Amino acid sequence: MDFERFDAPQATDDQWREVHAHEVQSMEYDWPELASPTLDAMVNRLRESTTTDCTNTLWLAREHGKIVASASYTVHHDDADHTVRIAFITVHVHPERRRLGIGTAFLRLLLAEARRHGKDRISVSGVRRGTSAEAWTVRLGFEPSSRTLLQRLVMADADLALWDLPTPAGYRVVSWGVAVPEEFLSRYCRYLATCWGSPHDWFAPQAVREREAQGLAEGCDRLVVAVVHEADGEIVATKAAEIKHGADIVARPGPTSLVLGHRDQGLERMLEAEVLRRLAAERPDVAEVVEKDQAFYLPEELAAYRCMTQVIADLGYRTEEYLRVEAGVEQLSTALGSSRPD
């Protein structure tokens, strides 16, 4: 097997197409539910992944001239003074060439690189629970450093009946896009000030309008769903979904912010469903909704969070768990016998 560093600045169109075909094949096998990146998106991502702060190198492994594996290797330059210096890697072996030691051989090469760069640890992110990647990293002695939950819902496959939750009595729901309608502006400003602290210039109508104008100029797209308390007309809860335009249009709802005194009324659960209902009705261009990709550093934190993920799962979201795993460079080198191929 031959290893080579992919020369992104000098690569020809044919070389980019070959790397893209390998990436698409791996994606379709390991993440069939995700849209594979277009050639342009992949080229841009790889070109932009090296910045003044970090260097990203794409390595390729070939057998008889054909790509059988690829690995991304990233080092940050600004961590020289840190107690722990980390190299970040991902490895993808061709689906038909797995369990033949190729991933482990690649790791040996990346370990040698990490030692050459004076790194203490190797970190692998995006390791999906229950997959070959988890089995591989566990076998090699990596340990989880954080866990991320991701919940996704493909709109075309959704069961709309699951979202049919009534609005609790005494409340009504309104929605808007990037700009809050004039009739709700002052109430929205009071709501922001209540949720985020005492009244402040940041929550003044003019400041809100300026931020909206800036967002619109930057191409921001969003759906905001708000709950109005009918007795006094005040806004008491909101949930905003940022809408990202890529190969597919994906909505990313943020957390629900609820005013004290309106908790335990079922508003949070209803808002989760209402965002989906309004996206389906008003934004049929949204293909997927992705929620809650926050990191947990202790297993207990994740366990405590599980009841919240169940609320969302009940609306049809599929829950995925991803691990970031780490291991010491010396420990791995000793276990594997690090060597740098010619």
Ligand X SMILES: CC(C)(COP(=O)(O)OP(=O)(O)OC[C@H]1O[C@@H](n2cnc3c(N)ncnc32)[C@H](O)[C@@H]1OP(=O)(O)O)[C@@H](O)C(=O)NCCC(=O)NCCS
Stretch touching ligand X by CB under 6 A, among 119-127, 216-224, 226-234, 297-305: 119-127
Of the candidates 102, 151, 105, which has an alpha carbon nearest to the alpha carbon of residue 316?
Answer: 151
316 binds ligand X (CB under 6 A): no
- Smallest gap, in angstroms, from Cβ of residue 233 to ligand X? 51
Residue of the chain from 98, 117, 252, 262 that contacts ligand X (CB under 6 A): 98
Does the protein bind ligand X through residue 64 (CB under 6 A)? no
Q: Using the rule CB under 6 A, is 102 a contact of ligand X?
A: yes
93 binds ligand X (CB under 6 A): yes
Q: What is the closest distance, in whole angstroms, from the C-beta atom of residue 149 to ligand X in the complex?
A: 17
Question: At what angle are helices 132-140 and 329-336 packed, to 10 degrees?
Answer: 90
Q: Which of 25/55 has CB closer to ligand X?
A: 25
Interface with ligand X, residue 67, by CB under 6 A: no
Of 152, 143, 172, give the one whose Cα is nearest residue 32: 152
Do residues 320 and 147 make contact, with C-beta atoms less than 8 angstroms apart? no
Of 58, 91, 224, 323, which lies in the binding site for ligand X, with binding defined by CB under 6 A? 91
For residues 178 and 147, what is the distance between their CA atoms, to the nearest angstrom?
32
103 makes contact with ligand X (CB under 6 A):
yes
Please tell me the distance from the alpha carbon of residue 178 to that of residue 210, in angstroms, as a whole number: 11
Tell me the closest approach of the beta carbon of residue 135 to ligand X, in angstroms. Answer: 3
Q: How far is the CB of 95 from ligand X (least distance, A)?
A: 8
133 part of the interface to ligand X, by CB under 6 A? yes
Using the rule CB under 6 A, is 135 a contact of ligand X? yes
When binding is defined by CB under 6 A, the residue of 38, 77, 126, 318 that contacts ligand X is 126
**56 lines the binding site for ligand X (CB under 6 A):** no
Closest CA to 323 of 83, 43, 135: 135
State yes or no: residue 92 binds ligand X (CB under 6 A).
Answer: yes
For position 104 contacting ligand X by CB under 6 A, the verdict is yes
How many Cβ atoms from other residues are within 10 Å of residue 225's Cβ? 25
CB under 8 A, 24+ apart: contacts of 4-10: 4/59, 4/60, 4/62, 5/57, 5/58, 5/59, 6/57, 6/58, 6/59, 6/60, 6/70, 8/46, 8/47, 8/50, 8/58
Position 228 contacts ligand X (CB under 6 A): no
The helix (H) or strand (E) run that includes residue 327 is strand 318-328
- 3-class secondary-structure state, position 74: strand
To the nearest whole angstrom, how small is the minimum distance from the Cβ of residue 103 to ligand X? 2
CB of 196 to ligand X, least distance (A): 38
Query: What burial class does residue 262 get, using C-beta atoms within 10 Å of its C-beta: 0-12 exposed, 13-18 middle, 19+ buried?
Result: middle
**Is position 142 an interface residue for ligand X (rule: CB under 6 A)?**
no
Residues 6 or more apart from 66 whose CB is under 8 A from it? Answer: none
Nearest residue to the partner ligand X, using Cβ: 103
Which of the ranges 5-13, 85-93, 111-119, 281-289 carries the binding residues for ligand X, by CB under 6 A? 85-93
Give the total residue count for the chain. 342
CA angle 96/334/76 to nearest 5° reads: 75
Upper half-sphere CA count for residue 270 (Cβ side, 13 Å)? 22
Nearer to ligand X, 106 or 203 (CB): 106
Report the residue from 15, 56, 90, 167 that binds ligand X according to the rule CB under 6 A: 90
Which is nearer to ligand X, 34 or 303 (by Cβ)? 34
Q: Which stretch binds ligand X (CB under 6 A): 11-19, 55-63, 102-110, 160-168?
A: 102-110
Q: State the residues that interact with ligand X by CB under 6 A.
A: 30, 90-93, 98-104, 124, 126-127, 131-133, 135-136, 139
